[in-house]
């Protein structure tokens, strides 16, 4: 397929590399142009001067920006996606976005005969590199069917979740689980360290028991006990995600004290740890509060 990829960040870059490796024609655009040029040198993709130019000959355009608002910001004007799209093309937005903005984007595209899918991903940078991401899709099933061969370049699992916005909603709730599990694990393990328990012993028990989670099974052993804290997924983005989940719960009139409180804690952490910190670094904040390290 003729594809374009906009947004070569931590996860966008390896996703786009999978598209090139799968043999799709690929044009890339990135706000910071040097990243697109480096990508083109590495993969043989071509670089577009603007979103409009990237969309011009594309059957499918992928976006992977920080927020849905960022996607909205590249739609209009002579350089914008809408100026380049042909009728019948499809925008697949892999941003972990918010359903309301995705619906607004979908309406603007539909008026020009362009399809839209919200298609956030899960599985991290390593899943993107291996092509095993889970992709949760909102939008028309026939549109998904048409672009599925391109999505398969980076997906291990593709799930149609419902109409536009459903993919974003599922992603936000998944991220709320991640944030809640990570914070709970940090609080519990700092407590156990102060009780004199070796955290490796504690995790040996918990990971064979009902309290286990991806945080206890993978993130904490690989990133906290080792003190490696690699920067693969920014805490600022997880704060954005749980903020979307908290807002959806409020709009749905679902009492959700755990989600709302965790969203607040992540907002504090974003302020304390900054925009570049990785999500797992929230453990450092809990360690500082509690006065003990999980190691
Ligand atoms: P990064 O911060 O690494 O990259 C963000 C990308 O978006 C960059 O290419 C940046 O361009 C671009 N961008 C941001 N704002 C704008 C804008 N206003 N206009 C144009 N381009 C913009 O983020 P990630 O790659 O980690 O994440 C991207 C999305 O994927 C997020 O929604 C995130 O929640 C989600 N995600 C991330 C995962 C991960 O493990 N990293 C896992 C699953 C989902 P520039 O280079 O110029 O800054």
Residue 46 Cα, ligand 1 centroid: separation in angstroms?
Answer: 20
Whether the model clears a pTM of 0.95, i.e. scores above it, the answer is yes
**Residue that the structure tokens 């594809």 belong to:** 3
CA distance 187 to 154: 35
CA 243 to chain centre: 14
pLDDT tens, 40-51? 999 999 999 999
| Selected catalytic residue, list 103, 130, 157, 171 | 171
**Residue that the structure tokens 């993709």 belong to:** 45
Give the residue among 32, 15, 22 at the shortest CA–CA distance from 95. 15
- Specify the pLDDT at position 66: 98
- Specify the pLDDT at position 64: 98
- Specify the pLDDT at position 7: 98
**pLDDT < 70 stretches in the chain:** none
**Residue that the structure tokens 């797992």 belong to:** 280
- Specify the pLDDT at position 226: 98
CA distance 9 to 177: 24
| Cβ < 6 A, ligand 1 pocket | 7-12, 30-32, 35, 64-66, 70, 73-74, 95-96, 121-122, 124-125, 232-234, 237, 241
Which residue's CA is the nearest one to ligand 1's atom 2?
Answer: 9
Which residue's CA is the nearest one to ligand 1's atom 26?
Answer: 10
- Specify the pLDDT at position 268: 98
Residue 53 Cα, ligand 1 centroid: separation in angstroms?
Answer: 20
Among this protein's residues, is 171 annotated catalytic? yes
């Amino acid at each position: 397929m003729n594809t374009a990829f906009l947004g070569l960040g931590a996860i966008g870059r390896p996703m786009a590399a999978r598209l090139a490796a799968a043999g799709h024609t690929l044009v890339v655009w990135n706000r910071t142009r040097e990243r697109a040029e480096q990508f083109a040198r590495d993969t043989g993709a071509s670089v577009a001067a603007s979103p409009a130019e990237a969309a011009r000959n594309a059957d499918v355009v992928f976006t992977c920006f920080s927020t849905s608002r960022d996607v909205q910001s590249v739609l209009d004007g002579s350089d914008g996606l809408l100026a380049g799209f042909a009728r019948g093309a499809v925008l697949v937005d892999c941003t972990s976005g918010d359903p309301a903005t995705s619906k607004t984007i979908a309406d603007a595209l539909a008026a020009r005969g362009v399809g839209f899918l919200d298609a956030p991903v899960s599985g991290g940078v390593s899943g993107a590199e291996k092509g095993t991401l889970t992709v949760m899709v909102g939008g028309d099933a026939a549109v998904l069917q048409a672009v599925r061969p391109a999505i398969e370049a980076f997906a291990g699992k593709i799930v149609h979740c419902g109409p536009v916005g459903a993919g974003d909603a599922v992603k936000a709730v998944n991220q709320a689980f991640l944030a809640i599990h990570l914070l709970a694990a940090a609080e519990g393990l700092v407590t156990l360290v102060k009780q004199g328990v070796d955290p490796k012993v504690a995790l040996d028990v918990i990971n064979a028991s009902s309290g286990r989670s991806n945080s206890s099974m993978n993130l904490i052993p690989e990133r906290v006990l080792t003190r490696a804290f690699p920067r693969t997924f920014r805490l600022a983005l997880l704060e954005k995600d749980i903020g979307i989940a908290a807002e959806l719960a409020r709009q749905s009139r679902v009492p959700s004290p755990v989600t709302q409180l965790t969203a607040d804690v992540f907002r504090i952490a974003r302020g304390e740890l900054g925009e570049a910190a990785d999500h797992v670094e929230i453990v450092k904040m809990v360690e500082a509060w509690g006065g003990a390290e999980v190691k």
